[in-house]
C-alpha cells in the first residue's frame, strides 16, 4: 500500500476463525487480539446518560477544543475512555438494547496493531496453512504469486485498521493515531460491538467454520453491518436509520467496489475487507427500517447462511439457502499421481463479486454475481514442479459455480472469463447449462480440455425441486 492513497479505516476488527473470505481476506477481516497490551479502564453503564442523550450536541460526533493536538500517538487511554463513556448509553438507545455490563477501553499504536495481529493470526491458523491459503488465492489471481501472504495481511491491517473489539477480553482498542473527526465513529462502532457481545456472545458467533468460508463471511456481514448501522442510527438522531436514503446505502457498497484499486495494492482483499461494512450495513439498515431492530436480534438465533443473503435482503427474508455443491477430487487426483488434496472450500457471491469488480464497473459486477446459487472448489498440489515454467508453485484450483438460471450462468461466464484472462495466465473455463466450471494454476503439461472433462465428472449438485427453481427464475426476471 506504500504508494496508494490511504483507505477508509476498517473499524470493526474482531477475533477470527481459520476459514473465511476465500482465505486471507477472512483472516484480515476477523482477526483480533487475545491479550491486553496494558491494563485497561472500564466504562460502566452511566446513570446520567439519558440526560446526555437528550442534548442534540451530545448525540453527535464532536471534537473538543481542548483535546490534544492530532498526530501519531496524540490519543491516550483517558481520552478514549471518556469518549466511550460519553457514547455507550447513547449507542444503546439507538440500537434499542440495554447496557448490561462494562466495556474495557484502551489505545494501541500501529506497531502494536501489527504485533497483536501476528500473534492472533496463528491462534487457529498455522504458518503452513496460511502459506497454503496464500498459494490458493495466488492461483486464482487474488494476490500476486510471488508475495508473502503473512506480510500482505499484516500490511493491510497495520495500514487500515483504526480500532477493534476483542470479545475474549471484553475490550475495545482504539488506534492512538485516530484523528478527532474520526474518533467518535471508531468508538461508536466498537462500542456497538461491545453491546452486541453483551447480548449475543460474539465469541460464540466467531468460532471457525472450517471449509465453510462463505457462511463465515455471512456472519461478518451481520456483525459488522449491524455495528455500523447502529453507529449511523446514533448519528442520525431521532429519525434513526429512516433518515438514510437508499441511494446513500447503495453508494457505500459501489464505492468500495470501484475505488479499491486506488486505495490498495491488493484491491480484491480490500474489497473483501470493506464489503461487510458497506453492503452488510445496507442490508441491516433496510431490514431495521422495514421490521425494526427485533429482526436483527432474530438473526443471531437463525444466522445467515451465505453472503448472498446478506447482499440481497429478499434472499435473506426468504432464507434462500445455498444449493449444496461439491466436487469429488478423485478423478483429478488420478490425473496426477502423487498429488494431494490440499484444501477445499466455498467462495460465495461476495468473494466472486470482489473478483468481478476488478475488471468491471460495480453495476456490471453486481449483475454478473447476482443469481449465484452455490459453489465449491478444491485445491490440489499436483506434485509438478512449475519453477521450470517460470511460475511459482501454486496449486491447481478447480471450482464450480451453480446459478439460478442458464442466463445467469452465461452472464457470469462472460464476465468471469474477462477476470481470468487478465489475472490468471494458466486458466480454463467451461459452462454447462446453469453451472460454470473453472480451473486455475494449470501446469503447462496438462491438456485443459481433459482436465475440465475429468472435473465435470466429479461435480455433484443437490438441486432444489422444480417449484423452487421456477421461483428463483421468476425472481431473476
Query: What is the residue-wise DSSP string for 29-79?
Result: HH---SS-SS--EEEPPPTTHHHHHHSTGGGS----TTSPPPSTT---HHH
User: Using an 8 Å Cβ cutoff, are 349 and 272 in contact?
Assistant: no
Grid cell digits, residue 318: 426468504
Q: Extract the C-alpha cell encoding 248.
A: 446513500
Q: What are phi and psi of 233, to 5 degrees?
A: -65, -40
pLDDT of residue 449: 97
pLDDT of residue 475: 64
Q: Show the cell assigned to 294.
A: 427485533
Do residues 157 and 149 lie in contact, with contact meaning Cβ atoms separated by under 8 Å? no
Task: Report how far residue 443's alpha carbon sits from residue 139's, in angstroms, rounded to the nearest whole number.
Answer: 11
Q: Where are the domains of the chain?
A: 24-318, 325-476
> How many other C-beta atoms lie within 10 A of the C-beta of residue 237?
12
pLDDT for the residue 388: 61
Tell me if residue 435 falls in helix, strand or coil.
strand
| Tens digit of each residue's pLDDT, the chain (477 residues) | 333 433 444 444 443 333 333 455 555 544 432 223 233 344 444 333 332 222 222 223 333 333 444 556 679 899 999 999 999 999 999 999 999 999 999 999 999 888 888 888 888 789 999 999 999 999 999 999 989 999 999 998 888 889 989 888 899 999 999 998 899 999 999 999 999 999 999 888 877 889 999 999 999 999 999 999 999 999 999 999 999 999 999 999 999 999 999 988 999 999 999 999 999 999 999 999 999 999 999 999 999 999 999 999 999 999 999 999 999 999 999 999 999 999 999 999 999 999 999 999 999 999 999 999 999 999 999 988 776 665 668 999 999 999 999 999 999 999 999 999 999 999 999 999 999 999 999 999 999 999 999 999 999 999 876 566 556 656 655
The DSSP string of 321-373 is PPPPEEE-THHHHHHSTT-EEEEEE---HHHHHHHHTTTS-HHHHHHHHTTEE
For 448, residues 6+ apart whose C-beta sits below 8 A from its C-beta are 428, 439, 442
- Angstrom distance (rounded) from CA 396 to CA 392: 12
Per-residue confidence (pLDDT) for residue 104, from 0 to 100: 92
Q: Which residue has the cell 438514510?
A: 244
Q: What is the pLDDT of residue 441?
A: 96
Task: Give the residue from 103, 102, 123 showing the smallest Cα distance to 33.
Answer: 123
Give the separation between CA 103 and CA 197, rounded to whole angstroms: 10
Three-state DSSP at 120 gives helix
Amino acid at each position: 500500500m506504500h504508494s496508494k492513497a490511504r483507505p477508509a479505516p476498517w473499524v470493526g476488527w474482531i477475533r477470527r476463525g481459520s476459514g473465511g473470505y476465500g482465505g486471507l481476506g477472512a483472516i484480515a477481516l476477523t482477526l483480533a487480539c487475545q491479550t491486553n497490551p496494558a491494563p485497561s479502564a472500564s466504562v460502566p453503564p452511566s446513570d446520567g446518560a439519558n440526560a446526555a442523550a437528550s442534548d442534540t450536541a451530545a448525540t453527535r460526533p464532536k471534537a473538543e477544543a481542548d483535546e490534544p493536538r492530532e498526530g501519531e500517538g496524540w490519543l491516550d487511554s483517558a481520552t478514549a475512555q471518556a469518549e466511550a463513556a460519553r457514547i455507550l448509553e447513547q449507542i444503546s438507545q439507538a440500537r434499542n438494547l440495554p447496557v448490561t455490563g462494562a466495556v474495557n477501553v484502551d489505545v494501541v499504536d500501529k506497531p502494536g496493531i501489527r504485533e497483536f495481529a501476528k500473534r492472533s493470526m496463528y491462534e487457529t491458523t498455522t504458518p503452513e496453512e496460511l502459506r497454503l491459503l496464500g498459494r490458493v488465492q495466488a492461483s486464482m489471481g487474488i494476490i500476486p504469486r510471488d508475495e508473502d501472504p503473512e506480510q500482505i495481511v499484516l500490511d493491510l491491517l497495520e495500514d487500515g485498521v483504526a480500532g477493534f473489539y476483542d470479545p475474549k477480553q471484553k475490550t475495545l482498542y482504539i488506534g492512538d493515531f485516530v484523528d478527532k473527526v474520526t474518533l467518535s465513529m471508531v468508538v461508536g462502532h466498537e462500542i456497538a460491538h461491545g453491546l452486541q457481545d453483551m447480548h449475543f456472545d460474539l465469541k460464540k458467533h466467531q468460532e471457525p467454520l472450517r471449509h465453510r468460508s462463505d457462511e463465515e463471511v455471512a456472519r461478518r456481514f451481520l456483525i459488522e453491518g449491524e455495528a455500523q448501522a447502529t453507529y449511523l442510527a446514533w448519528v442520525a438522531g431521532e429519525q434513526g436509520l429512516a433518515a438514510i436514503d437508499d441511494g446513500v446505502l447503495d453508494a457505500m457498497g459501489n464505492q468500495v467496489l470501484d475505488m479499491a484499486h486506488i486505495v490498495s495494492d491488493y484491491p480484491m482483499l480490500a474489497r473483501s475487507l470493506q464489503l461487510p461494512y458497506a453492503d452488510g450495513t445496507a442490508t441491516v439498515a433496510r431490514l431495521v427500517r422495514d421490521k425494526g431492530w427485533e429482526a436483527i436480534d432474530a438473526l443471531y438465533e437463525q444466522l445467515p447462511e451465505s453472503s448472498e443473503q446478506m447482499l440481497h435482503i429478499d434472499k435473506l427474508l426468504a432464507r434462500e439457502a445455498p444449493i449444496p455443491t461439491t466436487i469429488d477430487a478423485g478423478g483429478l487426483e488420478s490425473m496426477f499421481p502423487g498429488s494431494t488434496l490440499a484444501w477445499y472450500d466455498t467462495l460465495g457471491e461476495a468473494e466472486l463479486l470482489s473478483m468481478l469488480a476488478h475488471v468491471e464497473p460495480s453495476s456490471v459486477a453486481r449483475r454478473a454475481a447476482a443469481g449465484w446459487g452455490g459453489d465449491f472448489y478444491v485445491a490440489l498440489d499436483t506434485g509438478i514442479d512449475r519453477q521450470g515454467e517460470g511460475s511459482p508453485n501454486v496449486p491447481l484450483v478447480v471450482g464450480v459455480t451453480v446459478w439460478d438460471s442458464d442466463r445467469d450462468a452465461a452472464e457470469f461466464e462472460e464476465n468471469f472469463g474477462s477476470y481470468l484472462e487478465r489475472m490468471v495466465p494458466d486458466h480454463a473455463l467451461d459452462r454447462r447449462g446453469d453451472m460454470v466450471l473453472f480451473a486455475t494454476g494449470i501446469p503447462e503439461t496438462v491438456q485443459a480440455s481433459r482436465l475440465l472433462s475429468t472435473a465435470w465428472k466429479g461435480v455433484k449438485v443437490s438441486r432444489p425441486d422444480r417449484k423452487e427453481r421456477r421461483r428463483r427464475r421468476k425472481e431473476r426476471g
